[in-house]
Copies of this chain bind each other. A is one copy, B any other.
Amino acid sequence: MIGGGQLARMTSAAAVALGIEFRVLAASPDESAAQVCAHTVLGDYHDAASVLSFARGCDVVTFDHEHVPADLIAAMEQAGIVVRPGGQALRFAQDKLAMRERVSALGIACPRYAPVTDLAAVEAFAAGSGWPVVLKAISGGYDGKGVWVCRTPAQAREVLDHGIGLIAEEFVAFERELAILVARSASGQGAAYPVVETVQRDGICREVIAPAPGLSSGTAVQAQWLGLRLAAELDVTGLLAVELFETSAGLLVNEVAMRPHNSGHWTMDGSVTSQFEQHLRAVLNLPLGATAPVAPVVVMENILGGTEPDLREGLVHVMALDPGVKVHYYGKAVRPGRKVGHVNVAGGDPAEVTARARRAASYLANCVEDEMLPGGASPDSADPAPAVAQEGA
């Protein structure tokens, strides 16, 4: 696996049971996965020599993130290395314009969008879909951000001044956000997890509820079908996570990722097969595991860096208060707002399980039980354009 973040860390733990030798290409021995993986290779994923040398020692290469340059992925494939997902699929996880065009061509609904290179184009787009306009970096981003909610032309100009490739998208008045996670193996077997509800704040995933409460069975089946169809049409091998907007007019595709995803962390303690084992099965071309949940409701709450610099401080309190909370730490230094871990709680009652998960995550971050999580995004109206973090994991 190229990339040494928390997704590689958790995949490494899942690989233990399968008896495979799992190697990680990490930038430093301090990275999340490098701390726990016995077969860590240090190297820069931008560097062709490092990547090819690492890849040549592997039966299959897969990814912790979507930032490996496309030409390096192509170089691996040309060298006969088995890369899963392959470059043709990964393109749609790396290039938002290509993804939008492909999803639209398949007849799958997504927000209205248009590539934009200047303010006139943004204003022309806004003339059709109104303000605010969402600007998204087609690939990568700027200063760690890739999504900006612009309420005025002045805010849009500021984003345009970064000089990066952008698309404009309509600001969707969604009812809530959902996500569907599917796996597709190298030989084409597919499996879908239950549809989840995701709760974002300031563009960062905070909470995932599995299954999405009150979702109609028709919409659930539609979302699963959409995920499996997209995985097949894009020829994905491995996991495909599709972030969705649920609107009064139906489901819209927001983002896609082809790797283990934050919206699937609940599976570690809530499904027969965790997403990390499932990704390994898929890329190793093993039959996929059961995606059934093990409890009526499972809630995942991210632990974001808060006021407490030592994550061990809150552990005794949280474990003593609630012996059923499952804590997952990433071995990362605490920085405000950084994802440093998550908790999973399984149970029978959504409200009770959600409250337990929120309390635990809040206490681990801050060593106090603070007010938690308004229900949805709340873009504020301050100038300049609110940048929306996109850790994408």
Q: Are B36 and A290 in contact (CB under 8 A)?
A: no
Q: Which chain B residue has the least Cβ–Cβ distance from A295? A: B294
Interface contact B289-A19, CB-CB below 8 Å? no
Task: Tell me whether A320 and B16 are in contact (CB under 8 A).
Answer: no
10 interchain pairs (CB within 8 A)? A15-B36, A16-B36, A17-B326, A17-B328, A17-B329, A19-B312, A19-B341, A35-B38, A286-B315, A287-B323
Which of A6-14, A153-161, A192-200, A228-236 faces chain B? A6-14
Judge if A97 is at the interface, Cβ distance under 8 Å: no
**Chain B residues closer than 8 Å to A54, beta-carbon distance:** none
A44 to chain B, nearest CB (A): 20
Residues of B within 8 A of A19 (CB): 311-312, 329-331, 341
Given A19-B311, A294-B294, A295-B294, are A289 and B13 also a contact pair (CB < 8 Å)?
A: no
> What is the total number of copies of this protein in its complex?
2
Chain B residue nearest in CB terms to A331: B19
Count of chain A residues with Cβ under 8 Å from any Cβ of B? 46
- A327 adjacent to B38 (CB under 8 Å): no
**Which single residue of chain B is at the shortest CB-CB distance from A319?**
B287
Interface residues of A in 270-326 (CB under 8 A from B): 272-273, 281, 286-290, 292, 294-295, 311-312, 315-316, 319-320, 323-324, 326
